[in-house]
Amino acid sequence: MKSFGIKALIFDYDGVIFDTLNIAWYVVKTVCDRYCKRKVKTKKEFLEVYKRNFYVAMEQRGVSDLDMEKLKKDSIKILKTKHPKPFKNIPQTIKKLSKKYKLAVVSSNYTIIMKHALKKAGILKNFHLIVGAEHEEHKTKNIKLCLKRFKIKPSQAVFVTDTVGDIKEAKKAKLKTMAVTWGYHKKAKLLKAKPDFLVEKPEQILTILK
């Protein structure tokens, strides 16, 4: 990876840093029951939502622009009551990575929620930038914001994610992608999206970046 001149890593939040699968499933089902014309009835349907941009998926399920704002507010209200745990060895890995690279988080989650959890896990200070959906619903745009703030080219950053939808959005921003297998989408599904790298343990991120 050194030959590529990587200067920054942009992380997804849910399913990469924090184990939020069951929390997200509860939140999505709850808000979709309220605002989607086409409900999310099963966990399989819930996981399919993340094959594309989350908010695009909600629009496709019939959420209006007005209700989208209500959906976000309701989601934040529920998420404030939840206390996700970071995946094993993720905090240590992030601390080591932050010594060499600029780190950011780009997520369809919300900045206030993410900052609270990251602070509780002792790793908020290791990130230079946290960008949630209240800034932009499309991750491609939020990724470009990170590049602008860091003053780097797309070729100098890697997006670390656990979903097919994120891989697609990162590729639109012309970033290399690193898929992790401990999150929402399984290895076989991730490989079909053709990420540049795939890791099965957090520590492997360090190995690949040597």
Every domain of the chain and the residues it spans: 2-19+84-208, 21-79
DSSP letter at 87 equals: P
Token pair belonging to 56? 């695009």
**Quick one: average pLDDT of 2-27?**
91
CA–CA dist 95, 84 (Å, integer) = 19
Which residues face 10 on adjacent strands?
104, 159
Quote the crossing angle between the two packed helices 164-172 and 139-150, to the nearest 10°: 50
- The percentage of residues in the chain with a pLDDT greater than 90, rounded to a whole number, is 94
Under CATH, to which class is 2-19+84-208 assigned?
alpha beta
Residue-averaged pLDDT of the chain = 95
Q: What is the dihedral of CA 134, 112, 31, 81, to 10 degrees?
A: 180
Q: What is the dihedral of CA 119, 121, 122, 128, to 10 degrees?
A: -60
For residue range 134-176, list pLDDT tens digits in order. Answer: 988 999 999 999 999 999 999 999 999 999 999 999 999 999 9
For residue range 64-79, list pLDDT tens digits in order. Answer: 999 999 999 999 999 9
What confidence category does residue 209 fall into, taking pLDDT thresholds of 50, 70 and 90? confident
C-alpha distance from residue 104 to each of 6, 14, 57, 101 (Å):
14, 14, 24, 10
Token pair belonging to 191? 């490989």
